[in-house]
Amino acid sequence: MRNKIWFSLVILLLVVGLSGCKSPQEKAAEKIMESGFGNGVDIDINNDGQVMKFEDEASGNYIATDAEGEMKLPDSWPSELSVCDKCKIMSVADMGAGLQVIALTDEKPADLKAWYKQMSAAAGWTEKSIMDMGEMLIMAYTKNGAEVGYTIAPDEDGEGYMVSHVYTK
């Protein structure tokens, strides 16, 4: 099943990337995704291909990306948890039991660690663990049975950092 999903995603990206993102291509991409996920997949792509959203209409689960880094936090993201204002939100996902936000920044890991540690404590989250490996950090916090984790790592071009925010209920 997992291979079928990944194969569908690869085909989808090829269809979308080569198509110019016109409505017939969105429909074709939806058909491909439905072959892996079942009926009820909705795909929205803006005219220049910079913003894409893949949504399972039955569950409401979705993944959205913005190549310009102008995404907003999901409505169901806890209001007391924020993303460092020096980060650009590139991707958000709501997968039912959990949310993920991916951001890019030029801030150094030590500064990000201090910011997220202070913000989480101020919001009443309890530190569960911190793994500090210099250029890479993994931080975990809990509150009332929920968990939030932050992973900070060099981005793929090595010029900045990717910050993954994962919240589970």
Per-residue pLDDT, 103: 94
With pLDDT > 90 as the criterion, what percentage of the chain qualifies?
A: 47
| Residue in this structure with the two tokens 């932050």, named with its chain if needed | 150
pLDDT digits (tens, 9 = 90+) for 123-142: 999 999 999 998 899 999 99
3-state helix, strand, coil in the chain (%, to 5): 30, 40, 35
Residue 29, pLDDT above cutoff 60:
no
Q: Quote the mean pLDDT of the chain.
A: 79
Residue 48, pLDDT above cutoff 50:
yes
Which amino acid, 131? M
Residue 154, pLDDT above cutoff 60:
yes
Sign of CA dihedral 53, 56, 60, 63: negative
Residue 85, pLDDT above cutoff 70:
yes
> Does residue 129 contact residue 137 with C-beta atoms inside 8 Å?
no
Residue 5, pLDDT above cutoff 60:
no
Per-residue pLDDT, 13: 45
Backbone angles phi, psi at 95, to 5 degrees: -110, 35
Provide the CB-side half-sphere exposure for 18 (13 A, CA).
8
- Tell me the pTM: 0.73
